[in-house]
Amino acid sequence: MKFTIHKTSGSARTGVIETAHGAIQTPVFMPVGTAATVKALSVDDLKEIGAEIILGNTYHLMLRPGAERVERLGGLHKFMNWDGPILTDSGGFQVMSLSKIRKITEAGVKFQSHIDGTEYMLSPERSIEIQHKLGATITMIFDECTPFPATHDVARESMELSLRWAKRSKDAYVERPGYGLFGIVQGSVYEDLRRISAEGLKAIGFDGMAIGGLAVGEGQDMMFKTLEHTVPHLPTDKPRYLMGVGKPLDIIGAVMRGVDMFDCVLPTRNARNGQIFTKQGAINITNAKYADDASVIDPNGGISALTKYSKAYLHHLIKANEILGCMLCTRINIYFYVNMMREIRAAIAAGQLEEYYEGMRKVFVKEEAEM
Q: Is 263 a catalytic residue?
A: yes
Last residue of a domain, one of 210, 228, 263: 263
Tell me which of 143, 207, 260, 263 is the catalytic residue.
Answer: 263
Question: What is the tally of structural domains in the chain?
Answer: 2
Residues 308 and 185 in one domain: no
Please state, in angstroms and rounded to a whole number, the distance separating the CA atoms of residues 144 and 107. 12
pLDDT of 291-306, one tens digit each? Answer: 999 999 999 999 999 9
Q: Is 292 a catalytic residue?
A: no
Residues 231 and 354 in one domain: no
Q: 303: domain range?
A: 271-370
Give the burial string for 256-288 (b: 16+ CB within 10 Å, else e): bbbbbbbbbebbbebbbebbbbeeebbbbbbee
Residues 255 and 330 in one domain: no
Tell me which of 45, 89, 143, 250 is the catalytic residue.
Answer: 89
pTM: 0.97
Residues 69 and 6 in one domain: yes
Residues 205 and 279 in one domain: no
In this prediction, residue 367 carries a pLDDT of: 63
Residues 114 and 229 in one domain: yes
Distances, alpha carbon 34 to alpha carbons 68, 143, 221, 232, 254, in Å: 17, 18, 29, 31, 23
Residues 93 and 237 in one domain: yes
In this prediction, residue 125 carries a pLDDT of: 98
Residues 37 and 95 in one domain: yes
Last residue of a domain, one of 263, 283, 309: 263
Sequence-separated (6 or more) residues with CB below 8 Å from residue 148:
188, 189, 213, 216, 217, 218
Last residue of a domain, one of 222, 241, 263: 263
In this prediction, residue 100 carries a pLDDT of: 72
Residues 123 and 92 in one domain: yes
pLDDT tens, the chain, 371 aa long: 999 999 999 999 999 999 999 999 999 999 999 999 999 999 999 999 999 999 999 999 999 999 999 999 999 999 999 999 999 999 988 887 887 778 999 999 999 998 999 999 999 999 999 999 999 999 999 999 898 999 999 999 999 999 999 999 999 999 999 999 999 999 999 999 999 999 999 999 999 999 999 999 999 999 999 999 999 999 999 999 999 999 999 999 999 999 999 999 999 999 999 999 999 999 999 999 999 999 999 999 999 999 999 999 999 999 999 999 999 999 999 999 999 999 999 999 999 999 999 999 999 986 665 55
Residue 110 sits in a domain of what CATH number?
3.20.20.105
Residues 257 and 280 in one domain: no
Residues 249 and 301 in one domain: no
Residues 56 and 122 in one domain: yes
